[in-house]
A and B are shown apart, each in its own frame.
Chain A
Amino acid sequence: EPEVTQTPSHQVTQMGQEVILRCVPISNHLYFYWYRQILGQKVEFLVSFYNNEISEKSEIFDDQFSVERPDGSNFTLKIRSTKLEDSAMYFCASVEGETQYFGPGTRLLVL
């Protein structure tokens, strides 16, 4: 069964550094999402992406964040200048119908 994949599984970075989180959605899916989950808390919506543009974004998704689909398979989330509070698990999801399939996540730790 096809699955969403994400790389890296873990990322440690210094505050102020840029990070790029990568996702490979399920191949025939058209809608993609990023969510984050701070340790011990709920999953929070960041952004949705369709047809090579952002469909919706939450108030968390400020100017430090960007998404793109640089080729036909990868879907990336970039954080330009990381802050301590960006430490979280970041999940990518792709959609078939109404069902969202989550990737395994990238655990980001900002020191």
Chain B
Amino acid sequence: GENVEQHPSTLSVQEGDSAVIKCTYSDSASNYFPWYKQELGKRPQLIIDIRSNVGEKKDQRIAVTLNKTAKHFSLHITETQPEDSAVYFCAASYPSGSARQLTFGSGTQLTVLP
């Protein structure tokens, strides 16, 4: 089955700096890679996703890059703000029959210091 590794487990940055979170996956059949943000005690919320036919995707201050050959993908947050503080999970998914289960990374606790 798929295995997703995520680094770092914790990340502290100064407000305004950039943050980068990296993930690797094991199954070359995976073709969909979402990123979720989870605030304390809340549900995971999708912030950006990328499909394997695209190398990079950007949405305002958030971008994701994908290297299929190396089987890794990264989340980039620029101009960080205190409200970006949360746990971020990467995930990988491949189509399997009629369903598409997500395999999550272990999460990164991002703290943006004012």
A residues whose Cβ falls under 8 Å from a Cβ of B: 31, 33, 35, 41-45, 48, 50-51, 55-56, 58, 91, 95, 98-105
How many inter-chain contacts with C-beta < 8 Å in the A-B complex?
A: 60
B44 touches A102 (CB 8 A): yes
A44 touches B104 (CB 8 A): yes
CA distance A33 to B42 in the complex (A): 17
Out of B49, B104, B107, which one reaches A99, CB within 8 Å?
A: B49
B46 touches A100 (CB 8 A): yes
Chain B residue total in the interface (Cβ 8 A): 24
Q: State which of B12-20, B54-62, B63-71, B95-103 sits at the interface with chain A.
A: B95-103
Min CB distance B41 to A, Å, is 8
Q: Which of B77-113 contact A (CB under 8 A)?
A: 89, 93, 96-107
Q: Mind listing 29 A-B residue pairs with CB under 8 Å? A: A31-B100, A33-B99, A33-B102, A35-B102, A41-B106, A42-B89, A42-B104, A42-B105, A42-B107, A43-B102, A44-B104, A45-B103, A48-B99, A48-B100, A50-B99, A51-B98, A55-B97, A55-B98, A56-B99, A56-B101, A95-B100, A98-B32, A99-B49, A100-B34, A100-B46, A102-B36, A102-B43, A102-B44, A103-B43
B34 touches A33 (CB 8 A): no
CA distance A51 to B105 in the complex (A): 29
CA distance A109 to B32 in the complex (A): 33
Q: A100-B46, A104-B43 are in contact. List 7 more A-B contacts (CB 8 A).
A: A31-B100, A35-B102, A42-B89, A56-B97, A98-B32, A102-B45, A103-B43
